[in-house]
Structure 1
Amino acid sequence: MATGHKRPPTSTGAETVAAEESRQISINRPQHFVLVHGAGHGAWTWYKLKPRLEAAGHRATVLDLAASGVNRRSIEEVFTFSEYSQPLLNFLRDSVPPGERVVLVGHSLGGLSVALAADMFSDKVAAVVFLTAFVPDTVHKPSYVLEQYMATAPKERWRDTVFRPYGDGDQEGSAMIFGPQFLSLLYQLSPGEDLELAKTLVRPSSLFINDLSSQEELSDDGFGSVTRVFIVCNEDKGISEEFQRWMIRNSGIENVAEIGGADHMPMFSKTQELCQCLLVIANKYT
């Protein structure tokens, strides 16, 4: 496992070159990307990617899910995955007009949020992209992939993560707090500055496994009807490549891309490669 961190380019010239590279992929038509963060993180995780997508002529919306980023709720006030994902669901309901379709990009736990959104608003979704993300199927309960992950991931992978129950008996949940050692595992190939940013901004979250296990399966007519793409990150130490490829097989996803040398946070470790990958996906699948 790599122990050093790559430093990001700091010159304006480097950023200009990156933006020009993004423009080199011809655009069939401008797309609207909606970027959804993973557990404990927030809209801030996309700060490097969003301007690159916009420089290429696309729209990019970043959202804080409940109890994430600058959202005012605490995780102790959120008991269901639907509540947690509500900012995304509200956005699709209220801010995407009829006839417009967006490209949903879910990272890590955000994969389940974009899957839920696609199931509810399939007519507003051009494609769903799972970026080294948890992806459900339409056969099992939405909790299935998380249950399989928890059963197969070695306990030492969690390092200094703390799991803490909350609630009063009528409503109960389990908070998950990432420690600096676990964050270092997720960010092992990312710039050190971005790891330090995460240590400052990451908040307690939850996997909502109990709630997801009580929900209905996602539908073939909803989630199963939209174009789905999985982006494999082959140096991910949080969700292993082996488990990523198991999820691809389990969900029946046929459209697969790969970013070599990317850790669990490709928006930091391979920003430009991720941007190029999304531009190709937008051209090919929408």
Structure 2
Amino acid sequence: MQACLSDINQRAQKFVYANGKNHQPTAIDFDKSLLEDFLFNRTPSKDIALASVSMRPVPFGPVTEKLSLSAAKYGSISRFYVKTDDDFALPRPLQESMIQSSPPQQVFEIRGSDHSPFLSKPQTLHRILTEISNIPHK
């Protein structure tokens, strides 16, 4: 199954070359015909249709820019991670790696959620966000 997910991941991603094919890609877009398989595998069809017309390419600039984070600022904010267990865009091993590399205060999990829990499991996500809002600041 993992090889299949990796294949979907690669086929769904489309690089955008705003500066020409001889330069580095400037953004990533997604093949709209593969959105259900890649991002919205647990999302109702009507929500997929709405999301697909709202999606835009993701520019690389903000993602690749080096950040300088300090304990005084970044470290002063409580961080939480919401794990999505049926996420094909960020499979479980990648989510676990992200959690391990920068441990949050607490990890929550949404079972049966795809990459977009605000569409696939909105009530569960709402409950978790409400719970997080009631956790005392560290």
Specify the TM-score bucket, using the shorter chain as the normaliser.
0.7 to 0.9
Q: 2-side partners of 1:201 and 1:247: how far apart? A: 27
**1:81-230 mapped onto 2 (5 Å cutoff):** 154=6, 156-167=8-19, 174-184=26-36, 185-208=38-61, 211-212=64-65, 215-230=66-81
Match of 2:101, SS? helix
Q: 1-side partners of 2:61 and 2:34: how far apart? A: 20
Contact 2:39 2:114 in 1 (8 A): yes
Q: 1:173 and 1:162, CA in 2 relative to 1: closer, same or farther beyond 3 A?
A: closer
Contact 1:157 1:182 in 2 (8 A): no
For 2:101, the equivalent position in structure 1 comes to 250
For 2:82, the equivalent position in structure 1 comes to 231
For 1:29, the equivalent position in structure 2 comes to none
Q: 1-side partners of 2:25 and 2:11: how far apart? A: 21
Q: 1-side partners of 2:33 and 2:136: how far apart? A: 38
Number of residue pairs the alignment of both structures matches: 131
1:268: Cα distance to partner? 0.7
1:173: Cα distance to partner? 5.3
Q: 1-side partners of 2:86 and 2:64: how far apart? A: 31
Matched residues, percent identical? 28
Instruction: Say which is worse superposed, 203-212 or 176-185, in terms of deviation.
Output: 203-212
Q: TM-score, normalised by structure 1?
A: 0.42
Q: Which structure has the larger Rg over C-alpha atoms?
A: 1
Contact 2:16 2:27 in 1 (8 A): yes
For 2:120, the equivalent position in structure 1 comes to 269
Q: TM-score, normalised by structure 2?
A: 0.81
Would you identify which runs of 4 or more consecutive aligned residues in structure 1 move more than 4 Å?
Answer: none
Q: 1:211 and 1:271, CA in 2 relative to 1: closer, same or farther beyond 3 A?
A: closer
Q: 1:279 aligns with which of 121, 130, 134?
A: 130
Q: 2-side partners of 1:271 and 1:220: how far apart? A: 32
1:229: Cα distance to partner? 0.6
